[in-house]
Amino acid sequence: MKLQLAIDELTVEEALTALETLAPYVDIVEVGTPLLIDAGRDAIRQIHKKFPDLKILCDAKIMDAGAYEARLAYEAGAEYVTVLGVTDDLTIKECVNEARKYGKKVMVDMICIPDLAARVPVIEALGVDVIAVHTGVDQQARGRTPLDDLIEIQKHVKSCEVAVAGGINSKTVGQYIARQPDILIVGGGIFKAKNPMEEAGKIRTLMRD
């Protein structure tokens, strides 16, 4: 199981500083959508330059122009790019084609897909690498978690990796670890903790137990 650290509400400078202590705990660093809006691909470039061993996920949440936008992420140094599962199959396929050209990966964000059982086989057949269930922050504020979606999606995914995101922290992570997703995504749970390094350490320890 890999730990993906989602960096959403930090500046690039803050992200680079935070990674000095957090990098040893994580496998994948996510340049989150808000950070991407704030700093653009420079966020990917700077993190890649300072931490060349860390895999970077560009949370572009692509909805259109799959090949072009995926290429922008890969050329900046991202290993993964995200595309939205609600978009059309052609856009997802274009991302996959571009990933294969660059030797990189595509994660599909299943946010707001009402019928996971119907959509998963179609998306898997497009050749994506990771399918992620994701409860967005606005839904989290209404008390929703991604646990039921994780349980549901694991019934339908046959071969690609499964990731889970949405308000996970060291107190709730146990229920996700018990389901053994391939990638656990944590953002606010670490960055909003009093001691982010301690929180990342706790999560990492629980992943090993």
What residues line the site for ligand 5RP (CB under 6 A)?
Answer: 6, 8, 30, 32-33, 59, 134, 136-137, 165-168, 185-189
7: which strand partners? 31
Asked if residues 184 and 207 have their Cβ atoms less than 8 Å apart, the reply is: yes
Beta carbon nearer to ligand 5RP, 97 or 201: 201
Residue the block writes with tokens 């509400």 = 9
Beta carbon nearer to ligand 5RP, 97 or 193: 193
Least Å from the CB of residue 100 to ligand 5RP: 24
Beta carbon nearer to ligand 5RP, 32 or 181: 32
DSSP run (H or E) holding 167: none
d(CA 27, CA 127): 23
Least Å from the CB of residue 101 to ligand 5RP: 25
Least Å from the CB of residue 166 to ligand 5RP: 5
Least Å from the CB of residue 61 to ligand 5RP: 7
Give which of 6, 88, 84 is closest to 47, Cα–Cα: 6
Please tell me whether residue 123 adopts helix, strand or coil conformation.
helix
